[in-house]
Each structure stands twice: as C-alpha cells, then as structure tokens.
Structure 1
Amino acid sequence: MALGPRIIATMPRRQPLAHDRSLPTSGSPRRAPRSREAIADRRGSRPASSRPSTRGDGPRAGFRGRLWSSTEYDEGHLAPGRRLNAPRQREQSLPFHDGHGSDSTHDTATASRPKHAPMTAVGDNRPRELHWYHAGPMLFGDLGTSRLYVLGLAFYFTRHASLFHIAFVNVLLVLVGVCYLIICRKYPDGGGVYSSARGTSRALAVVGGLMLCADYTVTAALSCLDAFRYLGVGGEIMGISLELLCTIGAIAVIGAANWFGPRGMGRIALIVALVTVVLTAIIAVCALPSLHHTRIELPVRERYSIAAWGGAWVGFTEIVLALSGIEAIANMTGIMVPPVRTTSRKSILPVLAEVVVLNLILGAAMNALPDAKLIDPEGHALGTDNMMSLLATAYVGPAFSHAASFVFGALLLSAVNTAIADLMAIQYMMARDGELPSLLGRLNRHGVPHYGLLIAMLVPAALLLIFPNITQLAGLYAVGVVAAITINLLTTGSTSQFELRPWERRILLGVGGVMACILVTLLFNKPSARAFSMAVLVVGLGGRLFTLAGRSGLAPTASHAARLLAVACITGQAALTAFVPAANTVSLLSSVAAAGLLVWVSKWVSTGAPTTALHTPLENLEGDYSPVTTYVLAASRPSSLIDGVIQDARHRQAGVVVVYVREVAIPVSGAGKAEDLADDQVARSVFAEALAPARRLGVPVRLVYLIGGAVADQILETAIEADASKIYMQIRKRRGILSFFKGDVIGPVAERLPENMELVVRA
C-alpha cells in the first residue's frame, strides 16, 4: 500500500561554494540561509548574551536544503525512497533489531546518533515577530491618513484660526505619544487599554475595549468614504449616490480579502504609505516659498470673554482625531521583537515626527491660500473632505494633484483594512477571555475570526447608510478613541503593579486628565457621538452579561434571569437609538442606567464563573523503547502520511513529534487567552490519527500545538528544539490568491533547513 505518488523534486539542493557553504553557486541570488541559532534568535527566545556563535565550519554554520522523494511500502515494510541530490555515502545502511522480531534498516548517520533523552512537549507560544518597520506603517496608516481629512475639518470648524488648533493638536499628539512609549515599556505583553486596564478592573477594561470597537467602526466608514472623495467618484445610479455604493462595495471587498488574513494587504499598505510620504513632502516643499502669505487669526478674539475661550476649546476638540493608531500599536507589544522598548520607540517616534512637522507646514500652506480657493460665494468652506488635493493643485499642479489623489485614496483604503483588522482583533481577544460571546473568537482555517469579520464589515456599512457625510461621521469619531486613551492613561498612571518615575506618573495622569476633559466636552457637544458610543457600550455589556451567565455556576433560574436582563437591555437600547432623538436627556440617562446595571449584575454573575481557562491537555506516549532519533511530522490535516510516518518510526526506533500550527492571522497579544485545543476540530483529528497507530506499535509520540506566527518558522523551531533528523511534510502548495495572501510553507522550510536535517515531502 503506497502512501502516495512519488514526488518529483522541484527545488534542487543548492551547491555550496568552496569558500562559503551558505551561498549558491549560480542562478539568481537567494536569501542567505539561517542557522539553528539564527532562527531561534529571531524569535526572541534567548537573550543576545547567551546566543552561541554561528561562525565556523560546524554542522550549524550553514544550510543545505534536502528534498526527499516519497517512501513506499514494500511487502509490509517501509523501504526508503530515492533521495534527490543526496550524497551517495549516506545511502549505506546497517541492519538493527527493532525488538519485535523483524529487521529493518537505517542509515549510517542515524546509527551514529546518540540516544536521546525522553522527548518533552513543546509549549504553546505566540512568536514575537513584529518589527518596527512592520508596526510603523500600521501606525502611519492611522496618523498619516488623519491629515487627509483633519486639515479640511480644521478649516471648516475654525477658519483661519485653524493653524493654532492644528499646532495644539500636534502638541497633544506628542504628549500622548510619550505616554504610550511609557505604556509599551511597562506592558511588554500587551499595552492596549483592554490589556492594561484589566489589572485595575475587568469591567473597565471591557468598557475601554468596546470604545475602541466604536472608534474602529467609525474609522473604517470615514476613511472609506473619504477615499472615494479623493478618487473623484460622484453622481447617482437610480437615485442612489454612486459614492455611497462604491464605499459599501469597497468595505465588502476589503472584508473578503481579510478572510485570508491581513498579511498580503499589509505589503500593499507599506508601499502606499512610503509613496504617500514622498508625495506629501513634495507638496510641503513646493508650498514653502508661499508660507509668508499665511493668514493667522487668534482662536480667542475677546481675551476676557468666557464664551470666546469656551468656543476655542470646543473648536480644538472638534479636530482631535486619529489617535487610535497609537492604541493599536500598544496592543501589539506582546508580538513585538524584543527589546519591546526599542521596537516601540522606532515604531512611534519617526511617525510622530513626520506627522507633526508636515501637518504644521501643510496647515500653514492651507491658510496661505486666498479665500477664493477656500470659501465659496455662499460662505461654505471648500476642501473639507479633500484638502490635500486642493493643496496639491494650488502648489504643484493639476496633473500632480490627480496622481496624488489616487495615492491618497489608496492610503485611506489601506486605513480601512487596518481598522477592520483591529476591530476583529479586539473582538477576538474579549471573546477568548469569555467577555463576549464565544462565536466572535472562532477562527476559520486561515486563522481569521469569521464572525468578528462579518461584524467588522456590516456595522461600518450600516453606519454609512445612516451618516453618509464626512462631517457627520467626524462627529462620531473622536469619542471612542478619546475614552479608550483616557482609561489607559489614568489606570496606568495610578497603578501599583510596577514602579513609575515621578515624571512618568505626572505626565500619564496629567495627559489623562486633559483627555478626560476632551471626552466630557465631546459627550456634551456631540449628541450623535454620545448616542452611538452608548449604544455600542450597552450592546457590548449586554453581550458580556449574556456570556458570563452561560459560564457561571449559578442556579439555572438565576442564569436565565441574567440572560433575559441582557436581552432586555440590548433591545431597549436599540429602540432608544432608533426612535428617541440623540439630544434627548432621557435617552442618555436611560443608557447610563442600563450600562451601570449591566456592570453590577455582571460582577455578581462572574463570581460563579471560572476565573482560569481550562485548556485541554496534550496526551503524549512514552512508547516501549528509547528513541535513537526524532522525526518531526508537520501535519495540516488527517491523512495516510501520519500512519506511514508512525510505522517508519517503529522500524527505525525513532520518536515522533507531531506538530500542528494553528494560524492566527490577526495581530493579537496580551490579555487574550490562547486558542484551546478543544475548540480546534482539525488539530484533534490530526492528533487522534497519530495516537492510534502509535499506541498499537508502541512508538514514543509527543504532540505539539502551536498558535500563531509563520508556519514555516514554527516548524523549523520545533524541529531544532527536538533535535530532529527528519521533517515530514504534506504537499499542500498554496496557489493563486491564497499564495498571495498566505505564502507557501514547504519552500521556506526547504530553503532554511539545517544541514543535519532531511525534509521528506509526501502527497
């Protein structure tokens, strides 16, 4: 019985040069292979001081990828198949007795290997592989896109006093950035509001997470709508705005692309961000000679008028937008390459510098334009939703403006992708912690929470149907992110979990106090934003109570009553939002009362809920012999390969490490608990298929269930830790669109395979 058809090698082994075994001899240049230590060091598993040197001519100095053909059964015994491009002397074999009365063969290299100590299971881990040049563009995707609508909104609300307001917002942005550098350093395993506030209060952390959900929802809708304003889409089809149809369609397309995970989209976003920086710098440089025409008005014309100062403060709060990117970066410190302090600093500071400097120059350039280009004859501000295109036309030229507008639109669409990914991530984290329904934490086979993705697509689209205007959406925008940042700064500044320098505590509490004042002002002056935020809060807290009641150890009657209360609050909030005007005080008081009641009942219900996650243990088999070598079997699905490898290990007195890598395509870390094996049907099927023949044949088996990270890196690191001699993999090449979004697995493993390991690929 054959395991599968014989595989023809499509990746020949690289021939080393005489003076350097790690370089190819001919053909196109390839990435230099990495040693065992290099792979482990990249994952941050050991400090630099303890890393052994990889120089010299030892077995770990370089790599030579070996690709084996399939092995076949021959009259009930496994006969090794022909090795492709393998040295002839390695084909010699020696007989040995397997302890069951039958002879088998193994190669000389295997015979000379010392017997290993009993294998140990490799624990679950979330690799640290987010570099600063990955995190920086993600931050720029939020802060960098802000100028595309903040400049126009600043002039819309404050006219020629806008330069002062832009300067004040930049000062606030720098202060918030400094605070988040402290937070990233103090919370290296996740510094977002949901992770950091849990040390103070679980309910407060959930409130912060829900406020981020509100912010990401508005970000996706606002950025997508503004993208088509920059692209110049207009007109109507059957009485429906073409711009609105394109916006909703774009959200659907971006959401569909995220079904495979946001990895492939991130590559495009990086390119678009770099091009945007260049184009923005060109506009700023061309505007410099005209800055002496800048018209500046003081934000307060009557120095002793309280109303004038109040109006200036309200104008300032109107343009406090696009701070959520810093919160998203802090939430991903748990997957940043160590040291986190350095990675976060390199991610945040360059983006802050670019945004602050260019925003000031462009704000001055905007106020240097004549009023005829900024205000129409009826007194309405122009360029509210496409001010950067207006500046490009005025200072560079129409042709450049058309090209730049296309890039700016692409950048805004990349911001939509980032917002959808962040919205999925925060839902996933809260669902895995049992704070939201478990449906939101279920992953598809590409590692994406598909129900969370559905919500991340539908809610922004529904919001656009209700508020199809840039200024209306901007009115909803700031409340969520300001609330989340306020909670994060105040809880971190007042925590006793770690030591803070006096100046660090003062700046955290001081900036947190300013953000709290901004939040109160926004809630008072923006009824629509207040109603939207309270709706998200009450619905989220209702879902939390419904989930906690199902997990609690309360009596069935009490549990059902708590769930009915959750449903009643959600239904009532939906009715208030739909039928009661947002400015109505009764609506606000009712929402606040419902939120408080849900928090109080949830605290009572959670006392009966389990406080720790009960993970399904991995079953390992000791076998009836001590293995002389180790095989690593990387299986992505149940197949006949598993049974064949177990039988091969029995004949060669080998132990088997069965590896299943659960892909998590969204960038999460921190408080969210790990995926449980009990929720992964495919992994349990793979392990069950490996354990059945192993028990029958007495083969030592260890099960390894890994979560997140690049699959190829996880397989290689597991093989290195197990000191394996062979890695078995299934042929499952990703082609077409799936290859673009997810990449291949077998190719990277073969390319970076240590020279004392062999890769066996079977169908």
Structure 2
Amino acid sequence: MLGHGLPVGDRQPSPKAGLALNWIGVCQPPARPGDRCQTDPPAKESPHARYLILGLPRHRQPAVAWSCPQALGGLMDCLVKAAAAPPRPTAAAEISTVGRPRNVGWVRAAALLYGDWGTSKAYVIGLGLFLMGYAALPHLLAVCAITALVGVNYIWVCRCFATGGGVYTAAGLHTRRLAVIGGLLLLADYIVTASLSCLDAFYYFGLEGAQAKKWAIAALFAIGAANYLGPKHTGSLAIWLAAPAVLVVLILIIGGLPHLGNFHPQPPPPNLLHNWIAFTGMILALSGVEAAASNTGVMRLDPDATPDRPSVRITSGRAVLSVMVEVVLGTALLSVLAMCLPVPAHEAQQHKEDLLRFMGQVYIAPQFGWVVAVVFGLLLLSAVNTAMCGMVSLLYVMARDQELPEQFTHLNRFGVPWAPLIAATVIPVIVLDLAESVENLASLYAIGVVGAIVLDVGSCAFAAQLPLSPRKRWVMKGTVALLGLIWITIALTKPYALLFVCVVLAAGLAVREYARRFQPAVPAPAVAAEPAQAQATEPEREHPPFLGEKLLVAARGWTPALQFALDQARARNSMLLVLFVREVAVSTPMQGDWQKDPDARRLFTRLQREAANLNVHKLYSISNAPAETITDLAATFGVDTVILGGSKRAKLVNLLKGNVVTQVASSLPDTIRLVVVG
C-alpha cells in the first residue's frame, strides 16, 4: 500500500481531464543527509513534491508497477546504485530538426478554406445588385465561371507544393524580390479581408453606418487581443460554422425555388466597357482561394507518399474541389434567386451589405433571416481571425527569411510573433476607419487578391522545374492573361485601390531594403562538437527497465522532468530522446535552426557536457501544436514512455490554449506510458 491507502496500480479519477492518476509514488527529498526518501505522497500544496507519475486514461490498464522493496521508497536508493555503475558510452548524436505533424485531413482543410472562400457570397451578390441592379445576373455568372477556372488552377498549384506553397513560395522560384512583391500583394488582400469581413459581419447583425463601423473596430482589437495568447482553437469557429453555413445556403435555395415564377432579370446595357468595369468590381468571389496553397504543408500525406517524397495531391484536390463546387454553384443559384426578389431594384440595393439575410426574410420567414444573420455574421468574424493569423504567419516567415527586420521573429511567452500581430491588428483598423463603407472596401479588395493570384499561378506556369504538363501550363497562362487584364482594369478605374496597393508595396519594399542593408545578419554561434566516444558493448540488464528502453522527454530548459529522465536513462541504460519544442503560433509549416534559438542552444550545450556518457538523442521542432508534435514523435520513434513537466499556466491560458499534458494523455497510443514530473 502506498500513500493514502491506495495499492500500487490503483487509479483515481482526475476531476479535470477525465484521466486516471496512477499513484505509483511520490518522492520527497530526505529531511537529513543519509535518510531515506519518504514514500507517502504529500499534500498538493507541498513545495517538496518532486516526482508525480501520471498514469493512463481510464480505459487503459497500467502496464507495470514499481517492483523495488517498499515501492518508490527505494527509488532514490536504486538510482544512486545504478549511477555508480560504469556508464555506457555511445557515439555522439546529431541534433535533428523536425517539423510540425501533418494532421489536417481533407475535410478539415475544406472547412478551413470555406471559412474564408465561402464567405464571399455574403457580399458578392449584394455588391452586384448595387452596381447593376437586376441586370447583374450575367456579370455574377461570369464571376462564378472565373472562380471555377481559378479553382482548377489551384488544384494543380497545390500538387506542386506538398511542403507548403502560396504566392510567396511560388514567386520565390524565380527571384526573391518577386517573392516579396507577391507576399505584399497577399498582405494587402489580408488587410482588406479583415476590414471588409468585420464590417459586413455587423451589418448582418443588424447595425448600420457609424454603429457598424464602431463595433467592427472594437471587434478587430478584441480578435487581436485574443490572438496575443495564441489560442489553440484558432480557426475552429470556421470549422464549426462550415456545415451550418452550407445548410443555410441549401435552405435558402430550396425556399427560393417556388419564387422562380417572379424571375425578372433585366438585360445589361449595350456598352461593353461599362459591363467589363462592372464585372471587375464583382470579382471578390476569388478571395480566400490563396489559402488552399498556403496550407498544403500541414495536410495529411497521400497513402502512397512518404516524408521523403511528400504528396498531398488527393488531400488538397478534394478540399479545393469540394469548396469550389459549393462556392460556384451556391453563388450562381443564389444570384438567380436574387433576380426573383419581389421588390424594386432600388430597395434591393439598400441591402447590399446583408442581402442573404434579406433573402431569408423574404423567401423563408422573418425569423429565418436572423438565423442567416447569426451564421454568416459569425462566419465573417472567423474570416477576420483567419486573415489576421494569415498576416502574422506571412510577416513572420518573411522576417525569418531575412526579408523583414528580425524584430518580426520575436515571440511573446505564448509563442506568438508580437510585432506582426500588432501590425495585423492596427493596419486593418486604419483601413476600415478611412474606407468607412463596404463598397469602398470592396474597391480596395480585388486589386490585392487578383494580383496575388496572377503572381502565384504565373510563377507556376513559367517554372520549368515544376511537374506540370504543357496543356496545364497553357491553361494557367491563359488564366494569368485574363486575370492580368482584370487587374489592369481595376488599377485604371479605381485610383484609390491602386494607391492603396502602391503604399503597401512601397512600405514593404522600403522595410525590406532597410532589413537587408542596415541590419546585419547575426552569425550562427559555433557549438562545440561532442567528444568522440569509444563504442562499447551494452551490458546485459539485470532486470527489465522501469519505464522502458526508450524514453522521450519534452523540455524547454533544464527542468525537473529532464533531470528525472536523465536519472532514469542513467540508472536503466535507456535511450533518451530530448525534444525541445519552440512554440510558434503560426500555421505555416517551417523548419527551424536550433542554433538560432538561444534557449535550445543553451539546453543542448549543457546536455553535451552533463549527458555525454548517455545514449541521448536531441530533437528540435518549431510547431504551433506542441502536444501533437510530442504525440507524433512518440509514435514515430516507438518510445515506451513520454515524460513531461507539470503545467503551471493560468486557467484562462489553459482555456484558450489547452493543457499540453491533458492533450498528450488523451492522444497517446495505448502502448506508451505518460509520466508527469512536477
């Protein structure tokens, strides 16, 4: 019996995590030198508690129990005896860098993409009615056709960049300056996406004019403040709302079918130039498609792919195709039904910001209009969050590539790049304050997204090293020519849009020039090589290891968990994997350099000194999901036990980011034990 009368291996439910605590034992430091360790677990508030072994979820039985005399009371004695044994020399180990796990399937990828691309119908149809009245149907159908063409192009683009794409990566195949221009055009798109989506959300909530603008600005600051903590569930709102939004669209279409008898479109004016200019003003349905290429680096690999030869052809293709079909068909059918509204054109034009809500009130019921308002209002706010996170990721990656000042790579304590986050919050507020209305923001919108798509698709079409057939290249070149003509038209007919994108490009290129010319690169510090060690035959074990032959400990410093893992590796001749996870709360996949991370460099340097005679392998990872990275590496390396330190985060932070220990415990394979020290 140990502690509070619990026998070895008995489990006690945890009130928080739904886990079972396997009280194998707690060691307290002896009161006087020479005394034995005390075996009774202290009270939770005792500062002397050192080692607490967290057991398994309720459905898993404990695989082993401590077999030394007097249970864990003999743990320290056993460690001392084992430490006195001759060490087992091993060869020097490399420090391996690993990326974040690929855990985004095609359904989740489609939901994330829909959270941005799918929101376009909330304002595109209303904007079409505002510009052309009931003569807008041909223009809206042409927008749907262009959207389908661009979607097909992006299915091909995603196949070429299994490790993460987007305009910044694709343009980088040619020149670094072109990559920066592409990234800045995408940044302009993100800025207006955040401003426009936030303002339109509050129009859907029933506010108008100055009130909608005031609440939109407050919401931008609130979303930016929430992202300072690096919420674990960033983007989850879009996933949860994707299915309700699709359902609302289906109900609107079905409810509008009986009204097809009121179909009253008007012929467009005969002026071809006027129609072309109006069409280019409705091209907003392309917004969001660029996110598909940017997220390929975190998508699950295809069944026939390997980490050395990655492929997301199936995953990305399904995600883009499913969202593209919904966006194209949904926008086309709702455009047709908008021509059936039993109100004059001038009255329909008054609902340019919340047309879908108005259609729900007319075709279904007044109460259903509020259902549409809530679903699409929240979906638009999630698009704001997605755009803000996209800006943070883009600025961080550009700074990591030394295209922006290195201050943009500095992280707060929650792993969030704080300088990009400030920019991603303040700039959309400034743009919203200056533009004021949905139609003004829409005029700024298209020039950024169309420019980014032109550079992305064009860079792929002219990159000889990409595996594209001649037929695909010709289609992509034709798409670039058409979109390039649209971009030129927007630039000539909307001077404020041209001024906006020129300001973004000029400011970005000026900052880049400063970073490259006046901010010297910090050289990577030299790290002493590990001393060469003679190979020795591993001695036979006198008893099976307590925690197994292969241990994984996650630490971001010399923590009690790491010390415990080293003691166990030394006592049991176990292989120890030391994982340093640098949490960076951006979704872009990346490979980091541990030598540029002071904390990791300090930890690994000390390990070289103090664990030179142990079988220690060092791993370094940059990830926005530490728990998933730990679980993935534990399964990949087939470890017997994962060792973590106890969480000391505040309750609010645990609510927003989640508890790493709880997440790891709930997702570890049944064959792997979990130990929590602290």
Match of 1:344 in 2: 316
Counterpart pick for 2:566 among 646, 670, 673: 646
Partner residue, 2:386: 418
| C-alpha distance in 2 between matches for 1:527 and 1:13 | 73
Q: For residues 621 and 614 of structure 1, do their structure 2 counterparts lie closer, same or farther at Cα, with a shift above 3 Å needed?
A: same
Q: 8 Å contact 1:230–1:408 — kept in the other structure?
A: yes
Are the structure 2 counterparts of residues 249 and 630 from structure 1 closer, same or farther at C-alpha, using a change threshold of 3 Å? same
1:708 is matched with 623
Q: Bigger shift: 254-263 or 206-215? A: 254-263
**What is the one-letter code of the residue matched to 1:494?**
F
Rounded to whole Å, the distance in 2 between the matches of 1:729 and 1:81 is 21
Kept in 2: contact 1:618–1:703 (CA 8 A): no
Residues 730 and 762 in structure 1, CA contact (< 8 A), matched pair in contact too = yes
Cα shift at 1:150: 0.8
For residues 379 and 9 of structure 2, what CA distance do their matches in structure 1 show?
Answer: 41
- The residue type paired with residue 583 of structure 2 is E
- Contact 1:615-1:677 at 8 Å conserved across structures: no
CA distance in 2 between partners of 1:426 and 1:760 (Å): 37
SS at structure 2 position matched to 1:729 = strand
Residues 105 and 70 (structure 1), Cα distance of their counterparts in 2 relative to 1, 3 Å cut: farther
Residue correspondences, number: 626
Residues of 2 paired with 1:717 and 1:118: CA distance? Answer: 25
For 2:634 and 2:92, the matched residues in 1 are separated by 15
Q: How does 1:595-674 map to 2 (within 5 A)?
A: 629-669=549-589, 674=591
Task: Kindly provide the CA deviation profile for residues 107-140 of structure 1, in whole angstroms up to 9, marking residues without a partner as x.
Answer: xxxxxxx999876544322322222222212221
Deviating more after overlay: 531-540 vs 84-93? 84-93
Give the corresponding residue for 2:441. 473
Counterpart secondary structure, 1:409:
helix
User: How far did 1:181 drift?
Assistant: 0.5
Of 276, 279, 294, which aligns to 1:316?
A: 279
Match of residue 111, structure 2, among 134, 137, 157:
137
Structure 1 residue 727, shift from structure 2 partner: 2.8
Cα distance in 2 for partners of 1:167, 1:8 equals 74
SS in 2 for 1:660: strand
Task: Map residues 351-750 of structure 1 onto 2, 5 A cutoff.
Answer: 351-372=323-344, 374-376=345-347, 381-550=349-518, 629-669=549-589, 674-687=591-604, 690-691=607-608, 693-694=610-611, 698-708=613-623, 710-720=625-635, 724-732=639-647, 736-750=651-665
Which structure 2 segments of 5+ residues have no match? 41-52, 56-60, 72-78, 303-311, 542-548
Once the two structures are overlaid, the 10-residue window that deviates more, 178-187 or 616-625, is 616-625
Deviation sequence 1:515-551 (CA, Å, 0-9, x none): 0000000000000000000000000001111111135
Cα distance in structure 2, aligned partners of 1:252 and 1:640? 39
d(CA) in 1 for partners of 2:283, 2:470? 27
Letter in 2 for 1:761: V
CA RMSD of aligned residues (A): 3.7
- Displacement of 1:725: 4.1
SS of residue matched to 2:403? coil
Identity %: 32
TM-score, length basis structure 2: 0.83
Residue 359 of structure 1: CA displacement? 1.2
User: Following TM superposition, by how much is the alpha carbon of 1:69 offset from its aligned partner in structure 2, in angstroms?
Assistant: 3.8
- Structure 1 residues 531, 644: closer, same or farther in 2, change over 3 A? same
Look up the SS of the partner of 1:130 in the other structure.
Answer: coil
Unaligned runs of 5+ in 1: 1-5, 16-23, 32-63, 95-100, 107-113, 236-240, 302-307, 553-608
Deviation at 1:658, TM superposition (A): 1.9
- The aligned counterpart of 2:241 is 272
Distance in 2, Cα, partners of 1:657 & 1:749: 16
Distance 2:103 2:561 in 1: 31
Aligned twin of 2:306: none
- Output the CA distance in 2 between the equivalents of 1:259 and 1:89: 43
Q: Distance in 2 between the 1:666 and 1:7 partners?
A: 45
Residue 644 of structure 2 aligns with an amino acid whose one-letter code is M
| Corresponding position: 1:123 with 2:97 | yes
After superposition, the Cα gap between the structure-2 partners of 1:160 and 1:203, relative to the gap in structure 1 and judged at 3 Å, is same
1:203 aligns with 2:177: yes
Give a deviation string over 1:2-57, Cα, whole Å, max 9, x none.
Answer: xxxx9999x98899xxxxxxxx9xx9x999xxxxxxxxxxxxxxxxxxxxxxxxxx
Task: Report the AA paired with residue 366 of structure 1.
Answer: A
Q: CA deviation at 1:615?
A: 8.4
Select the residue among 269, 293, 303 that pairs with 2:262.
293
- The offset of 1:745, in angstroms, is 1.9
Task: Give the corresponding residue for 2:213.
Answer: 244
1:632-666 residue CA offsets vs partner (Å, 9 max, x unmatched): 22114443443344344333334433211112322
Asked if the contact 1:619/1:702 (under 8 Å) is kept, the reply is: no
Q: Deviations over 1:248-304 (max 9, x none)?
A: 110011111112335414222222222122122111111011123222233343xxx
Q: Measured at CA, do residues 147 and 14 of structure 1 come closer, stay the same or move farther in structure 2, by a change above 3 Å?
A: farther
Shift of 1:461: 0.4
Task: Give the direction of change, closer, same or farther, for the CA distance of 1:70–1:681 in structure 2 (3 Å limit).
Answer: farther
Q: Is the alpha carbon distance of 1:176 and 1:66 closer, same or farther for their aligned partners in structure 2, counting shifts above 3 Å?
A: farther
Shift of 1:102: 6.8
**SS in structure 2 of the partner of residue 217 of structure 1:** helix
Q: Deviations over 1:605-635 (max 9, x none)?
A: xxxx89xx95876966777877774432211
TM-score norm. by structure 1 comes to 0.75
For the Cα contact (< 8 Å) 2:95–2:617, is it kept in 1? Answer: yes
Find the aligned partners of 2:5 and 2:559 in 1 and give their Cα distance: 20
Contact 2:110 2:319 in 1 (8 A): yes
Distance 1:650 1:245 in 2: 62
